[in-house]
Structure 1
Amino acid sequence: MKTPKRLLPLVEEGMIDEVLRQLMSGKEATVYVVRCGEEIRCAKVYKEASQRSFKQAAAYQEGRNVKNSRQARAMQKGSKYGRKMQEEVWQNAEVDALYKLAAAGVRVPKPYICFEGVLLMDLIGDGQGDVAPRLNDVALDADTARTYFHQLLHQVVLMLGAGIVHGDLSEFNILLDADGPVIIDLPQAINAAGNMGAESMLIRDVDNLTQYFSQFAPELSGTQYGKEIWQLYAASLLSPETPLTGKVAAPTKMVDLDAVIEEIELVRQEAEDRALYLATRNEK
């Protein structure tokens, strides 16, 4: 096929020898199958921010590091330079996450380089010469669904041990090769310790998996693995060997209703005092 414009720099630099075909086009990138010497890999071409349906929400940006204070100020102001830096941070987040997760034993594609907004990485195959299918494209029996579900829970635990939460995990960004699930699409990955939304995102990731696999194994419905994993992590009790039950004990501490009512009353009083102050000032 004709070499796409965004891939020309990698061809000219000798990183890609031939573009074979387009594999898919998603909400954040277009992926191509490419030949690098004797290896078949994939090139993920990130779309410009204006073309992505998945926006760079502040919730995903929190806790990400930038090179210096000048870049941080530019990103906050939204200048042209700041937007360029924001794009680099967004793209590099996936590269950094892939390297960290691969080192932690998580099943993710092996990355090679991110150059001019293009991520070159391993192509995940099905073991029979074809591209691995996505999880949502495969019919599962109950036993296989249970196996994949628990394999993915283990991957989530390994990710959390590496300090990373996927943030958008679902059946649409999991591939199935000959050895089981492989997790992909990580530009929105967040810092588990540095992002205030990490707990809710991890629970949502696991709930997405639970909802999907419970179609095939109904007993998974109603389990609370996400909450259990986070509670163990927050208590420094989580390891890859930690047994999981899917159950979370109900809170035993009684809610202090008097304290809650007092807090509401304080907020109401502050609002009334402020309104009175503004009205008095306007009369002067």
Structure 2
Amino acid sequence: MSEQATPPAVELGAGQSGYPPGVCAPATPLWPGFLTGQEDAPVRVLLVDDDEFMRRVIAQELLSDLRIQLEGQAGSLRDGRRLVATHEFDVLMVDLRLGDGSGFDLIQEAREHRRSAEIIVITVLEDEAHVLHALELGATGYLLKDAWLQSFAQAVLQVVNGGAAITPRLARRLLSRLSHRPMGALPPAAQPLPRETTLTARECEVLRFVARGHVTEEIGNRLGISGQTVNAHIKNIYKKLHVHSRAQAVSYAAYSGLI
């Protein structure tokens, strides 16, 4: 039996990629300078999780990305409170089940200390009640610990640039619930909006792009308006819907039939 010949090794010279002739090497991902999270100005993150193994996994991923700076870690509500009170931060990543208390309490305290900070929940709890309560408190991310198709680092960069980060499996479930909801039906916690708070056509357009995960710059480019105008529309949406974050606005508008 004849043996198959092994292809000869390719020696790389200057400018060669090592790929066969006619095949281009994958393009290096570009990170535009206008986005938040640059190597010379990284996003500052606090991580609070009492699961030591999971905390180590998440920390390792964050530390490997030069656009992110892990400011501090904690394994309890008490130590998390100390971090929130003593550190400047842009994003708080927090588990809902802490050995000495609830992550919901830390989310509320973080909001009091730094209202502009983004909150990402990291948890094993995927029931709708926990998700909606986290969004009501101002979380802009909700990640399940056992999910494969997600990146903790990308979630951080997503929320600081105006998007929302949610585990794809959980997002699929929530979308499915919305799609099977009878026309006009609202969940018990949602109340119909007064007529005077109806969003304009332009505000609805902006909110739909927000719901798809687009950041301010992208929305402006697609609608042919400036980023400042986009942000003005978003502020009006917040005021009309009585919400405080993009995730809250999308959640409420979806349940209310506005988008």
Fold shared, TM-score > 0.5 on shorter chain: no
Highest Rg: 1 or 2?
Answer: 1
TM-score by length of 1: 0.26
TM-score by length of 2: 0.28
